[in-house]
């Protein structure tokens, strides 16, 4: 599946048939989490082609790691850079050749690194990918649910590669920050999201912002189709 957003160079286009598209609308501007300023700044520099070549993020589900990686893709692609976003949880059952040619890109984002921990051929493939990216000068942003030391990585050399650059723990946003982010997205789509409805969504659905944004988009489409405002009774019937 070729990413419709990836501005690939001709030399690697045919080698990346599995590059995944990232979700539209995920940017640094709508990432919520006041405690992650240093993380955002580091990723922005990486997406711009400067700063550290390797950055690793970790944290519990729902902290926004995937959002940040996809925001970096959005920023880099907007500057015409060749980008690939690979959620490894979806790739682990595929041949390791899925990683071929990535060193020809400007930015590579690897999500769900924990999914390949303990899978020997994938661990070795990631080890070699790190080395190829180092030699090519491409920026690699990776994320997992634990620090490099906390992952069940068997290959010691891969664990060391994961810590080659800065390692950031991503802090989960507060509920009020999530409400603000949802309301900002709703405003961008042309409708209002009352505080009580936003709070209802957060407390009765997956709490990560990617899932919340997707749910909000689905509710917006349903409200338009039925010509209804987003109220708690209306939302309750849909979720």
Q: What's the chain's Rg over C-alpha atoms? A: 19
CATH 1.10.8.60 occupies which residues in the chain? 175-238
**Beta partners for residue 110, in sequence order:** 86, 142
Kindly report, residue by residue over 133-171, the tens digit of the pLDDT. 999 999 999 999 999 999 999 999 999 999 999 999 998
Kindly report, residue by residue over 163-198, the tens digit of the pLDDT. 999 999 998 888 888 898 899 889 888 898 999 999
Mean pLDDT of 32-44: 89
Mind spelling out the 3-state secondary structure of 147-199?
CHHHCCCCCHHHHHHHCCCCEEECCCCCHHHHHHHHHHHHHHCCCCCCHHHHH
Residue 114 · residue 151 · CB < 8 Å: yes
Widest pairwise Cα distance in the chain: 57
Q: Does the pLDDT value for residue 210 go beyond 80?
A: no
**Count of other CB atoms within 10 angstroms of residue 51:** 16
Task: Give me the percent of the chain exceeding a pLDDT of 70.
Answer: 90
Tracing tokens 């970096």 back to the chain, one arrives at 72
Residue 32 · residue 173 · CB < 8 Å: yes
Mean pLDDT of 97-108: 93
Cα 32 to chain centroid, rounded: 14
Task: Give me the percent of the chain exceeding a pLDDT of 90.
Answer: 62
pLDDT at site 17: 39
Mean pLDDT of 63-92: 92
pLDDT at site 96: 93
Q: Is 162 exposed, middle or buried (0-12, 13-18, 19+ CB in 10 A)?
A: buried
pLDDT at site 99: 92
Query: Could you give the 3-state DSSP secondary structure of residue 43?
Result: helix
Rounded CA separation 163/110 (Å): 14
Rounded CA separation 37/164 (Å): 21
pLDDT at site 21: 63
If one looks up domain 10-169 in CATH, what number appears?
3.40.50.300
Rounded CA separation 100/236 (Å): 46
Which carries the bigger pLDDT value, residue 155 or residue 205?
Answer: 155
pLDDT mean across residues, the chain: 87
Spell out the CATH class of 175-238.
mainly alpha
Q: Which of 26, 11, 6, 14 is nearest to 208 (CA)?
A: 26
Cα(first)–Cα(last) distance of the chain, in Å?
Answer: 30
Mean pLDDT of 92-108: 92
Rounded CA separation 192/217 (Å): 13
């Amino acid at each position: 599946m070729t990413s419709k957003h990836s501005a690939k160079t001709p030399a690697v286009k045919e080698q990346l048939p599995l590059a995944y598209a990232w979700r539209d609308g995920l940017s640094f501007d709508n990432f919520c989490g006041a405690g992650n300023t240093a993380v955002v700044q580091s990723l922005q520099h990486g997406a711009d082609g400067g700063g550290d070549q390797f950055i690793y993020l970790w944290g519990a589900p729902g902290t926004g790691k995937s959002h940040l990686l996809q925001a970096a893709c959005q920023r880099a692609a907007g500057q015409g850079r060749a980008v690939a976003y690979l959620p490894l949880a979806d790739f682990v059952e595929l041949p390791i050749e899925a990683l071929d040619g990535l060193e020809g890109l400007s930015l590579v984002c690897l999500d769900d690194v924990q999914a390949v921990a303990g899978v020997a051929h994938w661990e070795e493939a990631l080890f070699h990918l790190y080395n190829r990216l180092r030699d090519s000068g491409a920026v690699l942003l990776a994320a997992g649910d634990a620090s490099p030391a906390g992952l069940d990585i068997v290959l010691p050399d891969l664990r060391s590669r994961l810590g080659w650059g800065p390692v950031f723990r991503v802090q989960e946003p507060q509920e009020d920050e999530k409400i603000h982010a949802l309301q900002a997205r709703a405003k961008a789509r042309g409708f209002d999201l009352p505080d009580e409805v936003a709070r209802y969504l957060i407390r009765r659905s997956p709490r990560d912002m990617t899932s919340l944004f997707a749910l909000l988009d689905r509710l917006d489409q349903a409200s338009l189709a039925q010509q209804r405002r987003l109220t708690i009774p209306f939302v309750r019937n849909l979720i």
